[in-house]
Amino acid sequence: ELYNRSTKTLDLGELRVQDATGSPVTFPSYILDPGSYVAITALANVTSLEAATIGPVLGVGIGTTTLNNDGDVITISTAGGTVIDRVAYDVDWHTNSMKKDGGWSLERSNPGLPCLGSTNWVSCPVSPGGTPGLANASLDTSPDVTGPKPVQVIIGSPTSLTIIFSEGLDKSSAENPAAYQITPAVGIASATQSATDRAQVQLSLSTSLELSKVYAITVNTSITDCSGNGASTTDTLYFGIPEAAAPLEVVINEIMAKPSPMVGLPVAEWIELYNRTDKIVDLASLRVQDLSGSPIALPSYLLLPKSYIAITASSNQALLQASSQGPVLGVGVSTSLLNDDGDVITLSDANGQVIDRVAYDKRWHTEDGKDDGGWSLERINYDLPCLGSENWQSCPVLPGGTPGIQNAAYRNTSDEAVPHLYWAYPESDNSVLLTFSEGLDKSAMENISSYQITPNLGIAAAIQQSNIAQVKLIFTDPMEDGFLYHLQATQTLTDCSGNIAEISDTATFGIPLMPEPNDILINEVMFNPASGEPRYIELYNQSGKIFDWGKFYIANVLDGFFTSQIIQKRLSIPGQYHVFTSDAPNVRSNFQNIYQLHVMENSLPTLNDKEGSILIYWVENGDTVLLDALHYYDSWHNSLYSVGDRDGVALERIRLDGDTNDPSNWTSASSTITGKPGTPTLPNSQRLSNSNPAEDLISLNPARLSPDDDGYEDFLDIRYQLPKAGYAASMSIFDSDGNRLKQIAKQELLGTEGYLRWDGDTENGSKARPGIHILYMEIFGPDGNVMRIKKVFVVVQ
């Protein structure tokens, strides 16, 4: 629709119309009076449009599908090429998202303000969806009293910039070079308004911009919009020539993966980036993706040195910006890109080089309830980018996150943690992937002298992976079948903070082989955990061979066939115990003195509290090997535990060479080794050892203590070794007069071997007096027999 906003009578036959890709088409002669409207359509559509409107309709020799649905550029010009009006519309100009799908026109709210852009356009607010040939239903004749604002600087070359304003400008004021000032001082040779967009001005500079130098540009009030409003002089834009970001120079600094339920910030996913360097980085050079997605290019935005930017879906940009104290950039990603429970966010350059990667988990939240939603995860110290979960915590303040500004959790912490070698995994017969506890220095990691292997394997190359805590070693010759190789780091291997890797750490690896039945045994099962704790299964490699856990499956066949593949890229090493559970951090924190790395997170088939079955089998290239199978019952627990007391008590195998399904080969775990009734990753508390006569069941080494906290013999070390599983004991300390000073245990289930301790304290909290004392112990056997043992020792001062 055209509108004559002048006092002139115009003949449209003197004008032409075209879209972005078409050629100009001349209007037929038509007199458009001052203040009049006319709808323009294809000749073929005139009759149908006239029937639907009371306004005038003019047919033109254009196609019936000239205008693009998503956006286009419509230009009205004279025969000589002078632009009368130009509108570069976009489907996102619709102010009602439901109207984007079609059937509704875009209306210019105030035709008296032709310099305004998208802010002067709305979805037609009334049925039938448009007002062709008539005054717009959204007509608003309010005057424009707001001056133009500079909103973006685009660098075309070291001597050319384009300034984008919030609205179209008066041409003569826009092309005055003196209206612009750049600091540090750079001369401006000329200013030219864009022929296609009155809100853009190109500046030609008399001297070149310097690389990564930060410049500021301001404008003065002589620049006006089409209504004569002067520009703001307080708005400053910063810019500079960008450089490419190297790994860890721009880091992922904050993550809002689960914004609902809302705490203070709007329900919108976002991540925050931080530029750690003195470089200017154009985000257009970077890509972002999650674990399952493809890289998505970021729009152009100059991320200045030591500055932050929040990244969110384009549809959420305005919403988040309204609640943020820092800048927010909209990106063409899904509003639900990030997984609530955990995901891997990768920031990379156009060549695929990883700049930063964070594999977050909701369990990184450090305050109860904040993993339910509405709170971000914040990196504590962005200058320690090699650290993992220990460098992240829940945002500690309202409104639940700090998008675009310094994290509330920021602390200038130091990294004194020694990096540890976790494990090795062969990816072929001549390469192995090493995993460390944290990211390492690239040059040190790729130095082949950083590694020692026994028996010797020549290393041809070491290549740091996109996960900077991993390195791939390529050998000069292939590994030999049946060999166990042992790898250690040397003192040349350091993390990003210069901490030397622990040289005593050893990773064993070799070529995984095909197992035979009983090479891997089911050794311990937690099928009825305490409230809030997970189930687990412990497997033991009793062979002399290495296996690939990724070829193994755990199944339950009691009520159907439920199976879970072990998805870990880890090796089963001879003599090692590995535990599989759905919540590895929970198991690691609940049991003391266990091998943390041997607790592996993996889904498990259902394990019933009363009765269940567990099958362990191996599959590769169509071959299947059943390793072990257990049909367990709750009744196999020690009779000392009533049915109600069995929650959180693991069932342990007594003999490795005994029948897996022999009830007498299983019993309840003792709590004496790990502080809880279970020994995940350790030899079982109830494993059998050689029988001993009663007087050798208990030993005191030495038979004295001096409880003075000087670090020498401060407690009584009570060692025990029992002939078989299922024993319980009561133990007390008496003085030489027969007074009981302390009860150490009361009918406590013991393992087949272990230790107890007495710290020299009494029931009332005081220290025992010096002199002779007696340890009295009653041992209750599973057959009902009771053994009573006395041991004499001395308390010294």
- DSSP category for residue 413: -
> Which residues have CB under 8 Å from 595's CB, separation 6+?
577, 681, 682
The residues that bridge with 577 in the sheet, in sequence order, are 540
**Bigger pLDDT: 42 or 97?**
42
Residue type at position 258: K
Tell me how far apart the terminal alpha carbons of the chain are, to the nearest angstrom.
104
d(CA 666, CA 649): 12
d(CA 739, CA 165): 91
Q: What is the DSSP string of 680-723?
A: TTS--TT-------GGGSEEESSSEE--SSSSSS-SEEEEEE-S
Tens of pLDDT, residue by residue over 534-561, are 999 999 999 999 999 999 999 998 877 8
Domain with CATH 2.60.40.1260 in the chain: 250-394, 520-668
- DSSP category for residue 429: T
**692 pLDDT higher than 60:** no
**pLDDT computed for residue 232 by the predictor:** 81
The CATH code of the domain at 250-394 is 2.60.40.1260
**690 pLDDT higher than 70:** no
Nearest residue to 107 via CA among 39, 194, 24, 19: 39
**412 pLDDT higher than 60:** yes
Q: Does domain 520-668 have CATH number 2.60.40.2470?
A: no
Residue type at position 233: T
Residue type at position 141: T
Tens of pLDDT, residue by residue over 175-188, are 999 999 999 999 99
Q: What is the pTM of this model?
A: 0.70
d(CA 302, CA 239): 7
**pLDDT computed for residue 685 by the predictor:** 86
**pLDDT computed for residue 691 by the predictor:** 41
Tens of pLDDT, residue by residue over 632-674, are 999 999 877 888 889 999 999 988 988 999 998 998 998 889 9
**523 pLDDT higher than 70:** yes
Residue 195 exposed, middle or buried by CB count within 10 Å (0-12, 13-18, 19+): exposed
Strands 342-349 and 2-3: unpaired
**258 pLDDT higher than 50:** yes
Token pair of 576 as six digits:
């090692």
Taking the C-alpha atoms of 708, 713, 714 and 717 in order, what is their torsion angle to the nearest 10 degrees?
Answer: -160
> Which residues have CB under 8 Å from 65's CB, separation 6+?
none
Domain with CATH 2.60.40.1220 in the chain: 150-239, 421-501
Count CB atoms within 10 A of the CB of residue 37: 19
**pLDDT computed for residue 243 by the predictor:** 94
Domain with CATH 2.60.40.2550 in the chain: 694-795
What SS3 string covers 483-522?
A: CCEEEEECCCCEECCCCECCCCCCEEECCCCCCCCCCEEE
CA 641 from chain center: how many Å? 43
Comparing 24-33, 607-616, 743-752, which segment has the lowest mean pLDDT? 743-752
CA–CA–CA angle 731, 735, 736 (5° rounding): 125
CA–CA–CA angle 759, 766, 746 (5° rounding): 55
**157 pLDDT higher than 90:** yes
Q: Does domain 421-501 have CATH number 2.60.40.1220?
A: yes
**286 pLDDT higher than 90:** yes
Give the confidence band of 116 by pLDDT, cuts at 50, 70, 90.
confident
**pLDDT computed for residue 786 by the predictor:** 87
- The residue-averaged pLDDT of 60-87 equals 93
Which fold, 2-123?
A: Immunoglobulin-like (2.60.40)
The CATH code of the domain at 694-795 is 2.60.40.2550
Tens of pLDDT, residue by residue over 200-253, are 999 999 999 998 899 999 999 899 998 899 998 888 999 999 999 999 999 999
717-741 burial, b if ≥16 CB within 10 A, otherwise e? ebebbbebbbbbbbbbbebeeeeeb
Report the percentage of the chain scoring pLDDT > 70: 98
Whether residue 652 contacts residue 524, with contact meaning beta carbons closer than 8 Å, is answered with: yes
d(CA 219, CA 230): 10
Tens of pLDDT, residue by residue over 291-329, are 989 999 999 999 999 999 999 999 999 999 999 999 999
pLDDT mean across residues, the chain: 93
> Which residues have CB under 8 Å from 732's CB, separation 6+?
740, 741, 742, 743, 744, 775, 776
Which fold, 150-239?
A: Immunoglobulin-like (2.60.40)
> Which residues have CB under 8 Å from 172's CB, separation 6+?
none
The residues that bridge with 562 in the sheet, in sequence order, are 556
- The residue-averaged pLDDT of 454-476 equals 95
Cα-based distances in Å from 407 to 114, 307, 346, 454, 655 = 43, 12, 20, 46, 54
**Bigger pLDDT: 363 or 708?**
363
Token pair of 39 as six digits:
């709808």
**pLDDT computed for residue 696 by the predictor:** 67
**pLDDT computed for residue 711 by the predictor:** 62
d(CA 777, CA 684): 23
